[in-house]
Structure 1
Amino acid sequence: MKIKKHIVLIFITAFGYAQNDTITENKLQEVVVTGQFEPQSIKKSVFNVRVITAKDIQNLAANNLSDVLNQYLNITVRPSGVDGRSTVSLFGLDARYFKIMVDNVPLVNEAGLGNNTDLSQINLNDIEQIEIVEGSMGVTHGANAVTGILNIITKKSSKDKWNISATAQEETVGEEFEFFDKGRHIQAIKVSNSISENWFASISANRNDFQGFLDGKQGKNHIENDGLRGNRWLPKEQLNTTALVAFAKNQFRIFYKFEYLDENIDFYNSTVQSGFNSELGSYRYADDKRYLNNRYFHNLNSTGKIFNKLSYNVSVSHQKQERSTEDFRYYLFTRNEANNVKIKDQSMETFYSTGTISNFFSDKKVALQLGYELVHSRGFSLPVRETLENYDFFASSEINASEKLSIRPGIRFSAQSKFKNQHASSLGLRYLFLNDFELRGSYGNSFRTPTFEELYYYFVNDSHFYIGNENLIPETSTSYEISLKKSVSLTSGLKVSTSFAGSFLDIDDKIDMALIRINPSTLIREFQYINISKYKMWNFSTMNQFKKGNWNLNFGAALVGISQKIENQIFASNEKFLYSFNINSNISYFVPKWQTTFSAYYKYNGKTQQFVEGNSEYIISTIDASNWLDASIRKSFFKNQLEATIGARNILDITNINQTRANDGAAHGTSSNIMLAYGRSYFFKLTYNLNF
């Protein structure tokens, strides 16, 4: 199997280079908005911004954001079949350090704002493009933007009077598929209208019905008490609706966006029990559970001019996400539910506002931007209800010392209700050499505030005791980055873009769950979130894009080294650097005569290591390497009115990967399997577009 995997990698890479091509249809003058004073080309941006286009998403036939990010360098998607969540990891740090936004507004989840976001809950229906900035963005985007930010830019206009699209997608889950009871079934509809020269409105709905992954289990209605009832990956049904109204006239623009998410996840207990009463006679039942998530998202944004000179951009948002659990008894003979009890488990309600004002000087050599961010969050997690607030002010300047040299210093002050006041600072440089060489460098100082869970978590079982810690302090971080990029267009029609980048990240007071003591009388191991760690990371990566005619190729590689010193109340780890290597390679070809695009996406996640807690010391845990390959064919019919996409995900048929762990501690077995995916799956997507 390993030989076959490496053959596939060599074939994709060699084939791509032989054709001199690029992955995405990225143009050298792509316009980006994330982290900019105003929309501008990638080349002029002081930050390194990666763009995922709408065509990339179409080629992948992506169901949600995890399907997209799974293919990108330095990013690892962490799915869970146990609770249905998918989160992102960047540079070995989890989703608490990476901020996800929609139109520059952080997206709420049941435990926080912008961080630890479930990627499977993010709808891709109305996306114009996705922008990713790696590295510390604490000045412009505040707390928790330590490893980077992801900004989803949604569509707010159309060249047509009416746009109507309807989509149906059927997908296998591994080898499992039936039209109603197995597999994944997706339906979507979107209607938009350019009401007048100034007004635009759209509305959409998306239903994603994932019937779970059995993998040898027997599902909901299995009546034997043999441990086979239920699913390996839990069934999940999502309904996502959005509405947008936008107005634009001259330099004034305003839009309001509403989104509602409703998600149900079903857990079927593997233990089947028997009973008897006079009404039912002999019966069998299971005590099951349902997780109910819903999210409301409101965002009002306005941009324009003050006094015909100063540029402003203001967003006001109200969001709420709530998770409830519903326990019930399921009678297997009659297939009825009874004794349903619903309890609100977690929620987060946030009022958020951010705004900037810029364009103070008529001299274009110097730009100044002043901004604010206001966050008022009310969190709930049984049995705690607390309010967290912060009031931030920031200033950033861009100095064009010459046509070649740009300097961007910035500073942020954050007044915190729960913690000591925090600050962030940054300095970015961009220099354009002759022959289209672009040099960028940056320094950033940022912070991460403890999450609601880290502050107030509480869980007890027979042998473990887990609690949060209200005395936690924010983590602080310092990062350095440097990159060199070369873009060239040859007379042969070949366009090449190559970049090399290096970065270093240093985090102090890192928060981890740690063993604080072993109760001598009960032998219960007591764990608590504490500021115990020091974390260092360095990364070296290269990205190479090629385009010629209708051929496109992207190839990238990254080497990451991570050092983490953990000191709990009993013992400590060392600061040894642990390394991992990643590769991605993507290729596409468009056949104009057939109106057909062929695409393939490959990702290699190398072996990773980390320290885990044993009885008397920290021991290295190793997670095996994995390979991921997707492929698709997308064809248009009837002047693009009908579009069909057929393809396969996880062609290399990855399911579980092995993780070795210390056998010293009761919390860590000798080894375990991580449920990474549910095997090779196939999909067919059909979209009808009516534009007039």
Structure 2
Amino acid sequence: MLKHIYIAIALFAVAGCCFAQKTPKEIVKGNVKTTDGKPAEFISVSLKGTIFGGITDEHGNFEFEAPAGDYTLVAYSISAHKKEYPANIKRGVSNYFSDLTIIENKNQLEEVVVTGQFSPQSLRNSLYKVRVINNQTIQQKASTDIKSLLNTEVGIRISNDMTLGESNFEMMGMSGNNVKVLLDGVPLVDRGATKQSLSQIDINTIEQIEIVEGPMSVIYGTDALAGVINIITKKARVLSDRNTYSVSARIQEESVGDEYEFFDGKGIHNENINIALASKTGLYVNGGYTRNVTDGWKGDKTGREKTWPPKDQFYYEGMLGFKKKGFHAWYRLNYLDESIFTPINPNPENVMSDRNFLTDRYTHNFQADWKLNNRLGLNVVSSYQDYKRKTRTIITDLNTGQKSLSTEESAQDVSKYKAIFARATAAWTFSPELSFQPGIEYNKDEGSGSRIKNNSEISTFAAFLSAEWKPYEWFSVRPGVRTIIDADYDAPVAIPSVGTKFSLNHDMDLRLSYAYGFRAPTLQELFFSFNNANHDVEGNPDLKAEYSTNFTGSYTWRILHNENIRVTSTLSAFYNDFRDRIVLAQGNRSAIHRIYSNVDKYKTTGGTFENSMIWKNLQANVSFSLVGRYNSLTENDELKNENLPTFRFSPELSTSISYQIVKTGTNLNFYYKFTGKRNEYSYDTDTKELYLTGLDAYHMADFTASQNLGKYLILNAGVKNLFDLTTVDNTATSGGHTSSGSSTLMGCGRSFFIGINFLLNN
């Protein structure tokens, strides 16, 4: 049945396209600026009461086709703020509308988001609650990796793996495979549950990051139970009237705690150069190189060993694209060469061991957007990823100087992963009130190595359909469904969702949504095999997908919104109920036997209260969140009389303040986050004791400043980890008494940085 629906929609789209071509159209062009004379980027411009219109580009220019006649041209910055202009579109002449303005200045324009949208939308018009880390924030934080960029974001927790030099991210109380990581809409291949891909993206290529909390499985498929992190990269600037070029470079030196050596050795050293050329014909090319290296952090280790291992990363990027009159296609190749070095102290026999983790990651990405007419647009996204991680352990006999490869278990290993991904969607405007987005998606993952059985693979072919209906100006609804046509696992038949948005008045919006999320089992969970004296872990090819039921709601109130000041508050809440959760369960072979199984359920609930203010040159944000994680021991028959709470809640508070001194070209920025205590219950079935275990609360803060040095240079400097945080205690409670457990490493102490950015363009 669903197959026939897709065929009918495709036929309607083709018919609509052909019908549109029968009516003569004239080209309508123009430019929109803000009140301070800057380009009004990515705002809607349309002819009132018609389906004809478009979106301005990064230079404020727009272009679309419409029949000749008298109209009212409307420029929307956000739905509550619009300006109307009379427009007489004539036949056979140039219809160009200049000197169009909106009432917002550059800082007051709301961010434009693309994640989960039919076309670029302002934050206000999006049916999803989206959080944006824009390019200005990325530059102000002067981050050298995504971890340091996100460490003060509310609702996101970061944990560290010292051995592997990697970090994992948690959203809405869920982490690992439940968070979808996208690069320009393409899912990134990862070796396991830890999202090491987030630590292997060049920070210098990022334009903005969009974070959507809650299942996005209809559009993005598996892994999107907790949400989506979409990393959007920079694109070349293309103008129709002249050729352009740009040359950018960055050098940043940063200490790791109190450890630092200039340019090489101790500390963090980040250098980048990027060159872009664009022709007025629409053809553009750019390439870049980044060196991001650190000598690690000694911490409390002695001898050769280090608490945080040294890491060298070298990024290479090349891009070729074409952009002209509603058509944009580009190919990008990214290559990462990464090495993590783990030195180990000599043993009593004076034999020294060095373990190296060597990674090669190739990412090929081809995308195309084609707007056939005012009603129909097509989008194609495809990628091929090749990921190889080698473990190499070298033994050195200090008595003789002889070196050899270690023969110990797991000392030498090669893991290879390949991923093929393709998605094709159409955005079809049936009428001003009704739009459709049908799509198909194919995903194939291959894995090989000593811990993956038989060079295994897993593939999925899916189709999805989403629609947006806006019967009234104050109300819109977006239902959607995804079906798995073919999969190498037990997949759900249908994954539905529905989102609604109510504009209660010009200053208040209400969003309510329901989504059914799912997560396919990974290659590791299906085909993993690791057996030695200390491990007996195996995958389960009979696993079925996890799924979740999600409800979210948010209420936004623009308390003050004028040309001088803007104050906005958003109150949101969520509830997730996860079923068939995949966990490592006790096997039946031995005491250490573990097998992946669908045996667990899990729930999360909570909410956030976000507040933002823009007043002249001051921007401030204060956000509070409370996340509750399910206490599975409430289902234990032995603990029914303990009156255990269903959820354990942990709070977070985040603040950011930015102030610009226009006269001197100076920006001052302060970022702070309080992460509250996180405790969960554990039960010892032998002693019959109930334990409360978890992490203590901690504080993180950064202060950064930037100074314009003429037309082409910007100087950055600041202090990170102001409170000198290194470890956080793990505490345990038993029998009414509290004792300290081990410590968890959260940071390397207070660090200092200085850097300079260069930009030359025309």
Cα separation, 2, equivalents of 1:676 and 1:236? 17
Alpha-carbon displacement from aligned partner over 1:53-81 (angstroms, at most 9, x marks no partner): 11101111111111111111111122222
Q: Is the 8 A contact 2:188 2:197 kept in 1?
A: no
Q: Is the 8 A contact 2:108 2:614 kept in 1?
A: no
Q: Residue 606 of structure 2 aligns with which residue? A: 539
Q: Residue 297 of structure 1 aligns with which residue? A: 363
| Residue pairs, 1:605-644, within 5 angstroms | 605-612=675-682, 614=684, 616=686, 619-639=691-711, 641-644=712-715
Residue type of the partner of 1:486? W
**Residue number among 220, 236, 242 corresponding to 2:317 in the alignment:** 242
Cα separation, 1, equivalents of 2:421 and 2:589? 42
**Residue number among 213, 222, 226 corresponding to 2:297 in the alignment:** 213
Q: Residue 248 of structure 2 aligns with which residue? A: 165
Shift of 1:491: 5.6
Shift of 1:182: 1.1
Matched, 1:137 2:216: yes
Alpha-carbon displacement from aligned partner over 1:151-183 (angstroms, at most 9, x marks no partner): 111122226822111211111111111123211
Q: Residue 758 of structure 2 aligns with which residue? A: 688
Shift of 1:273: 4.6
Cα separation, 1, equivalents of 2:158 and 2:182? 17
Q: Residue 431 of structure 1 aligns with which residue? A: 502
**Aligned residues with identical type, % of pairs:** 30
Change (3 A) 1:612 1:452: farther
Most deviating of 422-431 and 562-571: 562-571
Change (3 A) 1:381 1:169: same
Residue type of the partner of 2:435? A
Q: Residue 24 of structure 2 aligns with which residue? A: none
Residue type of the partner of 1:354? R
Change (3 A) 1:661 1:346: farther
Q: Is the 8 A contact 2:248 2:275 kept in 1?
A: yes
Residue type of the partner of 2:708? S
Matched, 1:559 2:596: no
Q: Residue 224 of structure 1 aligns with which residue? A: none
Cα separation, 2, equivalents of 1:540 and 1:627? 20
Cα separation, 2, equivalents of 1:435 and 1:595? 35
Shift of 1:381: 3.9
| Residue pairs, 1:259-408, within 5 angstroms | 259-274=334-349, 284-306=350-372, 309-330=375-396, 332=398, 337-339=403-405, 343-361=412-430, 363-383=431-451, 384=453, 385-408=455-478
Change (3 A) 1:559 1:663: closer
Cα separation, 2, equivalents of 1:670 and 1:624? 10
Larger C-alpha radius of gyration, 1 or 2? 2
Matched, 1:449 2:516: no
Residue type of the partner of 2:620? L
Cα separation, 2, equivalents of 1:39 and 1:492? 24
Alpha-carbon displacement from aligned partner over 1:303-337 (angstroms, at most 9, x marks no partner): 11347742110012101111111111235589885
Alpha-carbon displacement from aligned partner over 1:376-409 (angstroms, at most 9, x marks no partner): 1111242422110000100000000111100000
Alpha-carbon displacement from aligned partner over 1:196-245 (angstroms, at most 9, x marks no partner): 34112111111111101111434xxxxxxxxx331111111001111111
Aligned residue pairs: how many? 638
Cα separation, 2, equivalents of 1:530 and 1:660? 30
Matched, 1:253 2:328: yes
Cα separation, 1, equivalents of 2:218 and 2:639? 33
Cα separation, 2, equivalents of 1:467 and 1:572? 31
SS class of match (1:108)? coil
Alpha-carbon displacement from aligned partner over 1:283-312 (angstroms, at most 9, x marks no partner): x43122100111110111111134774211
Q: Is the 8 A contact 1:156 1:200 kept in 2?
A: no
Residue type of the partner of 1:163? S
Shift of 1:117: 4.0
Cα separation, 2, equivalents of 1:96 and 1:435? 39
Q: Is the 8 A contact 2:423 2:441 kept in 1?
A: yes
Residue type of the partner of 2:203? L
Cα separation, 2, equivalents of 1:170 and 1:205? 17
Shift of 1:568: 12
SS class of match (2:174)? coil
Cα separation, 1, equivalents of 2:290 and 2:530? 36
Q: Residue 175 of structure 1 aligns with which residue? A: 258
Q: Is the 8 A contact 1:204 1:241 kept in 2?
A: yes
SS class of match (1:401)? strand
Q: Residue 514 of structure 1 aligns with which residue? A: 585
Shift of 1:135: 0.7
Cα separation, 2, equivalents of 1:386 and 1:591? 58
Cα separation, 1, equivalents of 2:219 and 2:484? 12
Residue type of the partner of 1:161? T
Matched, 1:652 2:719: no
Most deviating of 387-396 and 182-191: 182-191
Q: Residue 66 of structure 2 aligns with which residue? A: none
Matched, 1:127 2:195: no
Q: Residue 527 of structure 1 aligns with which residue? A: 594
Cα separation, 1, equivalents of 2:734 and 2:442? 47
Cα separation, 2, equivalents of 1:327 and 1:478? 45
Change (3 A) 1:334 1:266: farther
Most deviating of 239-248 and 438-447: 239-248
RMSD after superposition: 2.7
Cα separation, 1, equivalents of 2:444 and 2:585? 30
Q: Is the 8 A contact 1:28 1:43 kept in 2?
A: no
Most deviating of 567-576 and 185-194: 567-576
**Residue number among 511, 514, 532 corresponding to 1:440 in the alignment:** 511
Q: Is the 8 A contact 1:321 1:347 kept in 2?
A: yes
Q: Is the 8 A contact 2:265 2:294 kept in 1?
A: no
Cα separation, 2, equivalents of 1:449 and 1:398? 27
Shift of 1:262: 0.9
Change (3 A) 1:670 1:462: farther
Q: Is the 8 A contact 1:663 1:670 kept in 2?
A: no
Alpha-carbon displacement from aligned partner over 1:547-576 (angstroms, at most 9, x marks no partner): 111111000001111114279999999773
Change (3 A) 1:246 1:566: farther
Cα separation, 1, equivalents of 2:693 and 2:107? 39
SS class of match (1:46)? coil
SS class of match (1:454)? helix
Matched, 1:102 2:183: yes
Q: Is the 8 A contact 2:634 2:645 kept in 1?
A: no
Q: Residue 70 of structure 1 aligns with which residue? A: 151
Unaligned runs of 5+ in 1: 1-24, 219-227, 275-283
Greater RCO, 1 or 2 (C-alpha within 8 Å, sep 6+): 1
Q: Is the 8 A contact 2:366 2:381 kept in 1?
A: yes
SS class of match (1:253)? strand
Cα separation, 1, equivalents of 2:312 and 2:337? 8
Q: Residue 35 of structure 2 aligns with which residue? A: none
